[in-house]
């Protein structure tokens, strides 16, 4: 699932996220947030070569249960999951490098082989 440019108004239930197979990136933020807007180019670049990574971009705010379940305090916060388990987290990324390191924590060799042409 490629980079998503728009925030979903509501995220899936926590139980559903815990059961997602493979690599998933949860991005919490808001469309009006300056930090979120500034981070988009780096996020898009990091995800560009990772089509096997599920990207869920979720609008966060008060009384939004998913952001609270992941203890999000600052935007954007990207939570990197493997089979529903958090493996890495990047808060307010400013460059691609930190995102690529976090992606490496959730993308395994089988995923990488599946994406490369034979």
Fold of the 14-115 domain: Glutaredoxin (3.40.30)
Domain range summary for the chain, segments of one domain joined by +: 14-115
Q: What are phi and psi of 81, to 5 degrees?
A: -115, 145
| Span 101-116, pLDDT tens digits | 999 999 986 555 455 5
Helices and strands per DSSP (H, E), number in the chain:
5, 4
Phi-psi region of 8 (alpha: psi -120 to 50; beta: other; left: phi over 0): beta
pLDDT of 118 reads: 47
| Span 44-69, pLDDT tens digits | 999 999 999 999 999 999 889 999 99
């Amino acid at each position: 699932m490629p980079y998503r440019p728009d925030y979903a108004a509501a995220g899936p239930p926590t139980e559903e996220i815990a059961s997602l197979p493979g690599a998933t990136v949860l991005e919490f933020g808001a469309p009006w947030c300056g930090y979120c807007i500034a981070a988009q180019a780096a996020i898009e670049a990091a995800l560009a070569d990772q089509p096997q990574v599920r990207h869920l971009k979720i609008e966060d705010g008060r009384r939004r249960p998913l952001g609270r379940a992941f203890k999000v305090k600052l935007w954007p916060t990207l939570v990197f999951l493997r089979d529903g388990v958090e493996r890495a987290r990047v808060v307010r990324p400013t460059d691609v490098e930190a995102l690529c390191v976090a992606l490496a924590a959730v993308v395994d060799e089988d995923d990488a082989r599946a994406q490369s042409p034979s």
